[in-house]
Structure 1
Amino acid sequence: MLYIMFLKKFLTLSIATLAITFNANSQKGGDEVVMTVNGEEITKNEFLQVYLKNNEAPKYDKESLDEYVELYKKFKLKVAEAEALQYDTIPSLKRELKGYKEQLAHPYLVDSSKTKELLQEAYNRMKSEVKAAHILIKLPQDAVPSDTLIAYNKALALKAKIDKGADFGAIAASSSEDPSAKMNKGELGYFTAFQMVYPFETAAYNLEIGEVSMPVRSSFGYHLIKVSDKRPARGTITAAHIMVMTQANDKPEDIANAEKKINEIYVKLQDGESFEKLAKSYSDDQGSKAKGGQLPPFGSGTNQRMVTEFEDAAFALKENGDYSKPFKTDYGFHIVKRIDYKPLGSFEELSSQIKQKLNRGDRANQSEMAFIAKLKEENSFKDKGSKRLTWFYENIDSTVFKKNWEKPELDKNKWMFKYNGEKFEMQSFLDFIAKSKIRKPVPVRNFIDEKYKQWQAAEIMNDEKSRLEDKYPAYKALLQEYHDGVLLYEIMKDKVWDKAIKDTVGLQKFFEANQADYQWTDRIDGIIYSSNKKEMLLEAKLLEDIDSLTMYDILNKVNAESQLNLEADKGKFIQSNNEVLKNRSFNEGANEIFKMGDKYYFVVVNELMPAGPKSLKEARGSVIQAYQEHLEKEWLKELSEKHTINVNQEVLYRIGE
């Protein structure tokens, strides 16, 4: 939840002193009141809901509750101040809150039984992957019946040729209106649930291998689909890799060196060296090398995806511990090792993830349509659209698609449908048409019929939305959480975060007053050369005596035969933080070669930089953070005097009962 994120991130401040007094018998709608903020009551249940969301292992002892209450009071102080300053009237925040309201309402505006059906169907399909090709005949979604029939017959004629023995791929290359078909003959590769539009997916999963579908209508047009294979879902794999990075603009010799390096690493693997050790020593993937190259799990049932070449190489490995030959992706050269494999997760494990996809995809329309049909049954729906629409057919022409369309005048404003005791009249529908966005012309009757469906659905859904807060207390509470979270973020940005950055004078004074907190320890400006072979460092040390050679020149010379011979790291190093440098003495210039662990090191010191104060520029990030904390602490003192918070301790300490 966004609110939880805000609460955890921003409510870590010092305690503001507030008087704690309360009438122990206070109640709100039968629920005991645990706190008031400027007279606004927060009930025991409301507080408990927030407390449980922010504590995975909640405790109800006095100390734990007191500690959380102090954090919660600071949160409420900031929200109270934002409301006092009318942050909730700022247009951008109103739009943001409206967007969140729409998102939060969605689960309450679908047919739960239909959703369950779609959930199970999607999971069943996720168990397998389909390999298919298609032929597309393009058709707009709002095409007139005559154009729809032409496109359908064209697709049907192509199917007849295929049924008589014509090659599907050849027909796709010559006749499909998918631009890629000329190159790939309509081949789409393997896919699973949610990776194609729903009608296409449904048709493909219902076909047998080798079967060609009848024309299938989607938002793109008509498709002929041929399924060539079906296979079980690959499941989830945990893998490690060694990567030698390349980039698109690399020179050919750089790419050749990278390929040479990965091949040399592969030889070391075959000679029995540790994959993890080689990854730590040579991989260019900074995010995984410290973990021996291990990556997050990817594949079916996860949100993690890799490029196709990487996934194919990983899933081709049959046993844990197996590793691939070197292969190329857009990111460079890789060797991948299989660490663990799990089949597709259970329905229970994946249902939440599937539900999110349902809500975002074209399946959501089915749940919404089923929900509207259910609402009509429950709320005395009566429709006279078939009679009333005649007037619209007769009085609206193609000028409706022009920018300055003038609405015709109604003779009588009759109702078109009744719902939940309310009449929805012709004038309202006419206004709905007038407010529609300008779009390309379509047959007027089609346009009116489509708009009537949209208007009817919109009015029924708006009626239901207006009742959600009364019908569902959990929804009302969630709205409040998002409201408070948005206001908190905005006022913190204005009063603390941005202020600390923009107040350059205040920042400078704060830095000067706390200079002792921003000090460098001993540092070394230099180069650290390393190798598994001492002779390589001896060669590097000899080359270092030649003043005209740079670090890169030395690397190129020593690595002429192998890219694994020598590595180098250049910069300003904090000696106590660097495993190679700490607890050792160095002189300016070239130092003696030494061994640490399995490697040899040679350090060239350009400058020994003694401990001393940092400049504001050098410490800016840390200073800004500390200054923000200072501003927040002072601001909370002001708020505690401006706003009144009272806590009912008797109710608070019974919160866990």
Structure 2
Amino acid sequence: LSSPPARNKMCDTSTSPREVEVSHILLRAGGDESALRSKAFSVHDQLRGGRSWDEVCKEFSDDKNTSEQGGRLRPFGVGALASVPEFETMAFSMQQPGEISDPFQSALGWHIIRFERKIPLPSQKEMDASLRRRLGRDERVQQSQQLQKMARRKKFQFVEQRETLEKILANADSSLTKANWTYKPEAALGSQQLFSVGNTPYTVNQFVNFVQKNQKATRLAPRAYAQQLYDEWAEEKIQTAEEEKLKQENPDFKNLLTEYYEGILLFEIMEKEVWNKASEDTVGQKKFYEANKSKYQAGDRVEARYFATNDKKLITETLAKINKGDTLSAADLRKFKAVQNFRTYEKKDSKVIDQVTWVNGLHEAEVDGLHYLVEIKRLVPPGVKEFNEARAQVIADYQDELEKQWIADLRQKYPVKINKKGKKAVIAELTKK
């Protein structure tokens, strides 16, 4: 899959809406690349055949830091693995826990990923609350915060109407601590000013709306909880004033803040309109495949399956049983280390399949210390790949197509006109020595 386009640094490195956790098998680059590719597909075939992920990972993965733990990696967000974009893109395109990717290549070598879980990031308010709880236990931090709060309130001309606030605090009852406060002030009280920041007034009605949107169950006393919510709201409004002042005094900060918000917005839109749709829209994938079949050509192929074991004797016994006309039972199959069901192979897809003669029937092979019994069911002539064979490439191409369509729709909906004289003047100014 192609990497999600990097529109700006904020979108790339710090605006991921979630993290993912995956396990991986790494076949490190170096030596014969063709042989390494074949080995990757052979390992993948063993997994598809039912062999334990942990067992395969321990035996084949070159990442010795994780191979003993099933290849489990720490959760990571978008941009965390920017040096290996193929790995990151594949990880974020997967959806179902336990899903195993097809082998794919990066600068490090060949990878196979097992998807473990998505981890939604907590909201900004949840993260703030958690940090405040931890820091709030430190007396020195409390003193510092109080001094800082007083200094900021003075700087931004915070003026409080304490008498009005007392009227609201007096109406805080147990319903507030149960997150069910439905208090409605009388019209005259609701329009009164609670405080002002600079020239901007804030009223009782605004505070009551804030409380009713943000109230949560708590063990605090009702009045204490109402005071806490009031302090949070007041600090929020002072912060707004502070940001506005910074925007006016510092254009770089304004531009950075704008870039941050636009980066988040762009990422969320791209995820919804392109990345998730491309990986989840199976109907769209199949329509795209049908319309572009000629792109997915394959050479000579075979439909085959194989059985793997460490014991050469088991291969001999199984061949003898088949030649007698006996059917293999479930108990017979369980004796093998791995069983790969029938699928279509091209050249270089599997070192095991490449090693046998491509004619119908049973064949023996030995690869990487394992013995294989291969059954070729039929020869498949060159032609268009079936959808399931080409699905990984179809998803990548469909993603590119969706992005092009989306950008075209935006251009049509929001036409851009360029002032050529203005453009020429700007370029001249930027390139002036």
Q: TM-score, length-normalised on structure 2?
A: 0.54
Residue 16 (structure 1) aligns with: none
Aligned-residue identity in percent: 16
Q: Does 1:518 align with 2:293?
A: no
Measure the CA separation in 1 of the matches of 2:68 and 2:74: 5
Residue 612 (structure 1) aligns with: 383
How far is 1:291 from its partner? 1.8
Q: 1:545 to 1:378 in 2, by over 3 A?
A: same
Q: Deviations over 1:421-452 (max 9, x none)?
A: 44757xx1354136522777986644554454
Cα contact 2:285–2:395 (8 A) shared by 1: no
How far is 1:579 from its partner? 0.9
Q: How does 1:256-655 map to 2 (within 5 A)?
A: 284-285=53-54, 289-292=59-62, 294-296=64-66, 304=74, 361=131, 362-363=133-134, 369=145, 371-381=148-158, 383=160, 385=162, 387-392=163-168, 396=171, 398=173, 405-408=183-186, 410=188, 417=195, 419=197, 421-422=198-199, 424=201, 428-429=203-204, 431-433=206-208, 436-437=211-212, 445-446=223-224, 448-485=226-263, 486-487=265-266, 490=269, 507=288, 510-511=291-292, 515=294, 517-550=295-328, 552-556=330-334, 559=335, 566-576=337-347, 577-582=349-354, 584-591=356-363, 593-615=364-386, 619=390, 622-623=393-394, 625-626=396-397, 629=400, 639=411, 642-644=415-417, 646=423
How far is 1:603 from its partner? 1.6
How far is 1:493 from its partner? 6.1
Measure the CA separation in 1 of the matches of 2:250 and 2:68: 38
Measure the CA separation in 1 of the matches of 2:169 and 2:11: 57
1:579 partner letter: K
SS state of the match for residue 353, structure 2?
coil
Residue 337 (structure 1) aligns with: none
1:453 partner letter: D
Q: 1:471 to 1:538 in 2, by over 3 A?
A: farther
Q: 1:440 to 1:607 in 2, by over 3 A?
A: closer
Cα contact 1:587–1:608 (8 A) shared by 2: yes
Q: Deviations over 1:312-346 (max 9, x none)?
A: xxxxxxxxxxxxxxxxxxx9xxxxxxxxxxxxxxx
SS state of the match for residue 436, structure 1?
helix
Cα contact 1:519–1:614 (8 A) shared by 2: yes
SS state of the match for residue 352, structure 2?
coil
Q: 1:651 to 1:283 in 2, by over 3 A?
A: farther
SS state of the match for residue 341, structure 2?
strand
SS state of the match for residue 549, structure 1?
coil
Measure the CA separation in 1 of the matches of 2:387 and 2:326: 36
Unaligned runs of 5+ in 2: 18-24, 26-45, 76-97, 99-125
Measure the CA separation in 1 of the matches of 2:372 and 2:258: 59
Cα contact 1:511–1:616 (8 A) shared by 2: no
Cα contact 1:594–1:602 (8 A) shared by 2: yes
Q: How does 1:23-62 map to 2 (within 5 A)?
A: none
**Greater CA drift, 503-512 or 534-543:** 503-512
Q: Say how many residue pairs are matched.
A: 324
Measure the CA separation in 2 of the matches of 1:581 and 1:543: 22
Measure the CA separation in 2 of the matches of 1:404 and 1:518: 62
Measure the CA separation in 1 of the matches of 2:276 and 2:173: 55
Q: Deviations over 1:193-252 (max 9, x none)?
A: xxxxxxxxxxxxxxxxxxxxxxxxxxxxxxxxxxxxxxxxxxxxxxx9xxxxxxxxxxxx
SS state of the match for residue 207, structure 2?
helix
Q: Deviations over 1:578-631 (max 9, x none)?
A: 11122541332222x344453333222222333232345654553464355467
Q: Which has the higher contact order (CA 8 A, sep 6+)?
A: 1
Q: 1:381 to 1:607 in 2, by over 3 A?
A: same
Q: TM-score, length-normalised on structure 1?
A: 0.38
Q: How does 1:133-212 map to 2 (within 5 A)?
A: none
Q: Deviations over 1:523-548 (max 9, x none)?
A: 33333233344323212222333544
How far is 1:415 from its partner? 6.0
SS state of the match for residue 351, structure 2?
coil
Measure the CA separation in 2 of the matches of 1:496 and 1:397: 47
How far is 1:375 from its partner? 0.9
Q: Deviations over 1:15-59 (max 9, x none)?
A: xxxxxxxxxxxxxxxxxxxxxxxxxxxxxxxxxxx5x88999xxx
Q: 1:287 to 1:502 in 2, by over 3 A?
A: same
Q: Does 1:10 align with 2:5?
A: yes
SS state of the match for residue 463, structure 1?
helix
Measure the CA separation in 1 of the matches of 2:253 and 2:307: 61
How far is 1:476 from its partner? 2.6
Q: Deviations over 1:334-376 (max 9, x none)?
A: xxxxxxxxxxxxxxxxxxxxxxx98653346669945534412
Q: 1:629 to 1:450 in 2, by over 3 A?
A: closer
Q: 1:610 to 1:493 in 2, by over 3 A?
A: same
Q: Deviations over 1:531-578 (max 9, x none)?
A: 34432321222233354433643234xx4xxxxx75433331414111
SS state of the match for residue 354, structure 2?
coil
Measure the CA separation in 2 of the matches of 1:297 and 1:407: 63
